Each structure stands twice: as C-alpha cells, then as structure tokens.
Chain A
C-alpha cells in the first residue's frame, strides 16, 4: 500500500529507475559501504492510520493537567494570557506555515513584510532602534546579547542580577565558557537589586543583565540600574515582559543598550515551554553585531517598495566562523503570532491589559492576606502581574494539596532560591476573574491552615 505521504506508483518507479539507469531502488544506495548499512528494519512500532494517531495523541494529551483543567496561577516566565482566534487563523495559512526562510525575496514578500512590521512593533514596545526577526526564546536571546556585548566591549565578564529568571541565568552560564565570558551574579536585597552593589559589580563588565519586572514580580529601579551600568560602560541589557510595556516605561527610554525577552506572553500558547519566540532589540550602534535575520525595506527594479533579508554579511551562511551568531532557523512563525497579537491589542489594548493585570494582582494580594492570612515576601516592592507570598510550610506541598482541589496556586520558588522553601510565586493574568482569585484564596486558606 502506498503511504499517504508518498505518491509514486509501481509504474512511476519503473520509469524513473530506467531514466536513472539503475535496476532497483536498492542500487541507488550503492555508494554506502556495506559496513555502515543498517541491514534490518527499523525497530519501531508499526505505522498508524490518521485516526489511530489521533486517538493515541488524544490519550496522551488527556494525561496532562493543562490550564483549561486546573485553575492556574503559574507564571515564572511563561504566562496564561488569552490568545485570540485571529492568531490561529493567520498562522494556519499554509503560505506562511510551510514556507522556508525568505532567501528568495520575490517569493516571500508576505513573510518579509510581516517580519518588518514585527520589527517595528518590537522597536515601538521597547523604545529601541533595531529588532531582529526573533531568537529561540527569552533565554537564548540573552546569551546572544552577551555575545554582542563581548565583541562590542572586548571585555570578558557579564553581570546578571540574581533576581533574573533562573532559566535565563542557567542558559547564559552554559553559553558563557564558549564565549570566553565569566558570569557574576549580584544578589537581591528585599526583592530588588541594590544600585550601589550593581555599580560595583559593573566595573569592567561587558554587560549588565537585569529583568523588569524581575523573577519575584517586583519592579526593579531599572532606570537607576541602567544608569549605573552605563556609567561603567557596560552594556545594560533589560530582559522585559512585552505585556508590561503598555504601562511600564520602554527600556530604550531610560538608556538600555539592548532590550529583549520571552515573547510567549504576547501571542503564543504555553505549549509546555515552546516553541515560542525570543525578541531582541538594540540601539542603532549594534545593528551590525545583531544575531540572526533582519528584514530591510528597499525598492525593486521597477521602483516599487519591497522587503529583503538585509545585513546578511553578519550571518553564518556568508560570514561562517566570523558570523555574529550561528542562528539560522529562528522562530518566525511564533513572532508572526506576536505581531498579529500586538496588532489585535493595539496601543489602547496593551495599556488596558497591563492595567487589568495590575488591578487583579493587587486584588489577589489583598485576598491572600485577608482570607488566607498570607504575608507578602517583599511587601515594600511594587509589582506588575506576579508576586511572592509566604505560605508557612513547604510550598511544593502546598502546590500538591491545592492541586487536589483543582487549583494550581503558583510556582514554588524554593526550587531555585535558597531560603524560599515556603514561598509561592503567584501570577495573575487578565484571564483570571475576581471569583477565581477568591477561590485561590479559599484553597490556600485551607491548605496552609
């Protein structure tokens, strides 16, 4: 039986083999030495039909407690924001979904223009001059930025605040030895980074990485921290939540050299961690050090506006070992989802979304105090959509007990931070209702009593 994803009939095959001048399909592989051939069938389960496949994957999906089945307050970098139907509609267009990187611009004006529009949206959000077409995620773009900083400054140390998401810090540390970089962390003081401590650490550094809002949900004194980095001539790199930028100042406006982050919250489903997109935008000074694809506008041979991949001499397919990065495949389709989402939001929507998150999170803080008697870990600090509370016992046990009641109350920060075994990081998106927050408070009251 011909496989559904194949097409050749027996007579096709005969005609083609004749044209090639061989007697069998087997003979096509005669250049492969006998000693490296498999010589048996692959030891895999038999092929499934489409409906058998659907049933199998449906059963696997049913064994996951996703956010439609559990009332979830999980965040810590990936957020349960609403993804509107227009995103799915655009991303399922086969012309976008099944195209390659737009090396041939005349075949690819659609995605090229879309990336140009995406770059514009990211620059508008972050207050930067130039954005690339996306990186793998919020962690890898941070490592990419370290590579920029190393080459831009010639220095060999990067500073990262301890209040930066641990996933990000781990990836930076994994990449750093290959880059010839040493990574130094600056501890947090009461949930935020101390400006003087950061200033001291930034001395002689290629870059300073900070997160706004930080991993505890707290708002860093980002303008002061960025100024301290700039004073030391270290590149200030601000890792930011794109959906906070309707209400929080754009990093470019307070002096960041590079603004980047995890794009998932803006237009991608959580999808157990990926695929998502990392955004990376920089000041004009760094345009020729940027990693990855950048789309530029120009005119065609008839004087009409068109779009192309530009500044390609930075890239691996031309520059090879001297490239600004090895990245080629990136996350274009997810970034397109980001553009569609940001277009859907618009300037008013993104501000309102930020305000709703602020209000709901403030309400959640009140309710957790009032109904569950929980104390904030950093009561002095302003927050955006996420905050840390002490639950008075091991937070992982609290998570387990709450989940038995259908509520995932948040992330147990003790998994990453010493002395925080009783701390829960609670994220509140616009999808959560006051009633759901009441339910969270009720459940936490029960399981922490």
Chain B
C-alpha cells in the first residue's frame, strides 16, 4: 500500500486556517526564518480518512479478535471510557489551571490513588509515571533517596533481579545508576532461594520482582524472600505487570513489597494504542512517601483537593505536570465499574489461563507443570527437535487462523517459549477455538511443516525478517531516492522476544 507521501499532490489540503483581517503582519527575524517548507503530505480530508482507514484494516487489535499476548494483558477496553475521556471538562482542561478550576480532575486523581492503595495494600500513591518502565525507574529513585537519607546510599549499590524478569527491570537498574545482581530460577519456577541467600547482604538496595512471575507462576517462597530482603535491610520492588492475576486475592503490600508500580494499560484497561499510551503509577509504604514525585495530589477538606509541591525530600519530577490524566479517567472508570468485584476479574483471568494450559500442555511442552496464574509458558522445543518447527513458526501460523500470536522467546529461561495470556474478557467458545487452532498447528508441524515455515499465508504481507531490516535501516521516506522494493529475502528468523 502507498505511503501518505506517495498520495500527496502539490496544492491539495485538508485544513483551512483562520486568518483574521486587519492584524499586524507576521514577522520573523530573517536569520530564524524557515528556508524550505517541510514536505508534509498534501491530501484532501477524504483521502486522509481513507488512507488511515485502510491502514487500520491492516492492523489487529483486541477489538478485532483474540490477542493472547503473554504479560501484556490484552483485555477488552470498554467503550464508555473513550466517551468519558472526551468530555470537555477533561479533554480541554489545561494542566496549569488553578486548583479551584480543576477540582473535578483533582478529585478523580485522589480517588484513583485511594483505590490503587487499597488494591496494592500500600499507603501512598503517585500517579505521575507515564508507563510501567518509568514506574520502575521512579521506584529505584525512591530507593536511592531512602537510603541516601539513612546514610546508606553509598553502601547499597546492588539490585537483585531474577532471570525471568522483563528486560525493563535490568534497563531501569542501569538508568538509575545501580548494579545488577541476577538470581536464578529453581526447578519449580520460583526464585532459587539458596542462590538468593548468598547474594543479599548489606550492599543490596532492593529486589525487583514480578509476582506472579513472567512464567505465570506465583512464587511459593515469597514469605521467605521477604524475610531475606527485609532482614538485610533492603527494600522490595513489585513489578505490577502481572497484577491482573491477583486483584482482591493477594496484595503486593501483604506480600511484603515496599514499592509497586501498576500498569494501568494492562490491568486497568487503558487501551494499548499500538504501543501506548500507558500509565505507571507507583504505590509505596509510608516511610517512602516523603520522597514521592511532586506535586502530590492531596485532599485538603471534605470537598477540596489540591496539588502539594511542599515536599522537601522529593526526588523531583519524572514527567510533566501530574501524569497522563486521560489514562486516569479510563482506569478510574474501569475500576468503578468493578468495585470489589475486581476479584472476579482476576479469578476469571486465572481460570481461563488454566483451562488453556490444561488443553494444550500435552501437544506442547509445559516446562513448569503447576497450576498457573493468569498466564502460562509452553515450549515448542519438542516441535523444533522433531520437526524443525520453531515457536516463531507456530506464532506466524496462528495468524492464519485469525489470532494474534502469544509472546514468544520470552521469558528467556524457556527455550522456544510461547507465553499465553488469555485475560478474563473471552468466552469459552473463543478459548476452545483457539485450542483447536493450536492443536491443529501441532499436527501440521508433524504432517506439513513447510506450511508453518512459510506462514503467514493470509496476512497483508508475507513473513518479515527484522534482523535483515536492521542491517540497512530505512527509517523514513526518502523523497529524492526512494529505493525500489526488491532483494533476496533471508531465511534467518529473528529469535528475539516478541511481546511483553
């Protein structure tokens, strides 16, 4: 399909800009004036709409079909939330409006903070971080501020992370100026407690843990882990990516965690938008509250809310203003639609995942044979060994059946990983049909492996090789010399994580 730039013709336009009469001439000093106009597209409005509508038909979302992308919680995003966020009182509110002109927004944020504190079992919340990974970084800044305040900042330089962790965890550790201490996973899929014991000491600042883990397993030794870290004077950080498994069942605060980030775009239905926006609020124990980002959203009286900048020990600001407010509107609306029934949400997510696991674990390998939480990880290593078919091939073939593939090649501890998270918003019929497709693909792997190798067959494009694209990156439309399509495709598959 053509690019919008290839549909452009000089002189066409979709906009008309007001130009009131009788105003002063626009003046720009010569030295600062733009010499050549930007080559933005020139199209009429109806061509614009057709272009982006056609692009949308080449995309697949939760609204299109089943999207069991592990660790991403691709649940249905209620439409009412999209209507609410467009209310002028929300959409057209300027972030520097005075407090008395933003009481509704402040109240909504304060109420959201209260709900998140209850769901996480912690004391204080900052909504400011823009996404989960920024929540992680903010959390680590709080860890640093806390230990600096206690005079232990120079001594505690290490952050412990299990080998099943999302890549964001170690990346955040580096960005926060900490050193990484990796810890192994035991044969049951828990943190290897013996390995851990030897690695936690007076130099340890914190643990970062996702629980349930990216294997979809609840760490059975969480109480012992808590004793090890708090016993050594270290803090515990909870990566909330998998919170959808445990709402109303077990709270990070009750597990002993001191800092939690919540992915509003996973658990609390902010649509993922093809890669964002998200929201990554953090909840903390009381002793960390003084260090939270400014401004804090506070209740000043029964019906009066405000922004408090007077926090002398704050780490500062991690993002502009008070955070992604539109995300808060959606997640607040979503949580009010559930109230205490959030527990049913998590129970259903866990039942759906276990049902798929039970139906698929014989045709694929299940490396950790336990009840799972909201997701589980299969391995295609048997198919690879016996038929030369990889997790990537299975993923591509699923597309032909009308499903978005699971996360693959993650977590890294499972070879040929297929990480499946159905979420709670699916019917049993959908789950059954997906199982039938997965079982059919396992049979195809034995009978006609080439069908899988060449998949997908029914998407707008054939298989695309990301490794090859990275060798000679073309990252924008080259107006003068646009290279013609062509060249030899490579057979080398990119075995990199896809998902999370």
Contacts and interface: CB of A to CB of B under 8 A. Distances in A.
A358 B339 contact: no
A41 B249 CA distance: 9
A113 B3 contact: yes
Contacts of A92: 82
B230 to A, nearest CB: 14
A320 B250 contact: no
Contacts of A111: 55, 59, 274-275
Contacts of A262: 320
B287 interface: no
B25 to A, nearest CB: 7
B323 A273 contact: yes
Given A37-B249, A350-B38, A382 B29 contact: yes
A22 B371 contact: yes
Interface string A317-340: 111111101111111111010001
Interface in A337-355: 340, 342-355
Contacts of A106: 396, 399, 456, 459-464
Interface in B433-466: 454, 456, 459-466
- Interface of B, helix, strand, loop or mixed by DSSP: loop
B476 to A, nearest CB: 4
Interface in B50-77: 51-53, 55-64, 67, 69, 72, 74-77
A310 B465 contact: no
Contacts of A89: 49
B94 A74 contact: yes
B39 interface: yes
Interface residues of B, number: 212
Interface string A229-261: 000000000000000011111100100000000
Contacts of B319: 136-137, 139-140, 171, 274
B133 interface: yes
A274 B324 contact: yes
Contacts of A293: 275
Contacts of A300: 461-464, 489
Contacts of B427: 7-8, 12
Contacts of A167: 317, 320-321
Interface stretch (B196-204, B340-348, B378-386): B340-348
Contact of B61 (A97, A247, A295, A321): A97
B132 interface: yes
B338 A3 contact: yes
B55 A140 contact: no
Interface string A118-151: 0111011100011101101111100000010000
26 contacts: A5-B76, A35-B223, A36-B254, A38-B121, A44-B335, A66-B91, A72-B94, A74-B97, A90-B52, A95-B59, A106-B460, A109-B459, A117-B5, A138-B320, A174-B315, A179-B175, A245-B34, A248-B33, A302-B462, A308-B464, A318-B497, A325-B175, A344-B14, A346-B42, A349-B17, A354-B26
Given A66-B91, A321-B171, 11 more contacts: A5-B425, A6-B348, A16-B355, A42-B248, A44-B119, A121-B40, A248-B28, A275-B327, A308-B469, A312-B470, A345-B17
